[in-house]
Amino acid sequence: MASEHTLELTDGNFEEEVVRAETPALVDFWAEWCMPCKMQGPTIEELAAEYKGTLKVGKVDTDSNREISMRFGISAIPTLILFKNGEVIKKFVGLQQKSDLKAAIDEAIG
């Protein structure tokens, strides 16, 4: 679920919001019923707030957006993908530590 600092990404807006984004983008592939996804949520929110203006952060509900989930081979959730210039530069599967995500983001922004 999107919030103040995160975008709700769909099959319809993914191309515009992520692939053509001028800044790197962190995309959280999740589902409402997924407990690890819910546990990952606060970290995603914190990162979105911390990197506001330099990183686009969005969430894809895999149940509602099968096309984009299949396009990126999402077979387990949560999966977090970091994009830069429309290309996948890092993919994280499963619950992640904030420090690991920050390191990848800092490298993408730098």
DSSP per-residue codes, 63-79: TT-HHHHHHTT--SSSE
The pLDDT score that the predictor gives to residue 74 is: 97
pLDDT digits (tens, 9 = 90+) for 67-82: 999 999 999 999 999 9
Is residue 34 annotated as a catalytic residue, yes or no? Answer: yes
Q: Enumerate the domain spans of the chain.
A: 7-109
7-109 folds as Glutaredoxin (3.40.30)
Q: Output the pLDDT for position 6.
A: 94
Concerning whether 40 is annotated as a catalytic residue, the answer is no
Reported confidence tier of residue 2, pLDDT bands at 50, 70, 90: low
User: DSSP 3-state assignment of 16?
Assistant: helix
pLDDT at res. 4: 80
pLDDT single digits (tens) 5-63: 899 999 999 999 999 999 999 999 999 999 999 999 999 999 999 999 999 999 999 99
Provide the whole-model pTM.
0.95
Say which of 34, 38, 45, 98 is annotated catalytic.
34
Catalytic residue among 18, 37, 47, 60: 37
Put the strands of the sheet holding 87-93 in their side by side order.
7-9, 56-61, 25-30, 79-84, 87-93
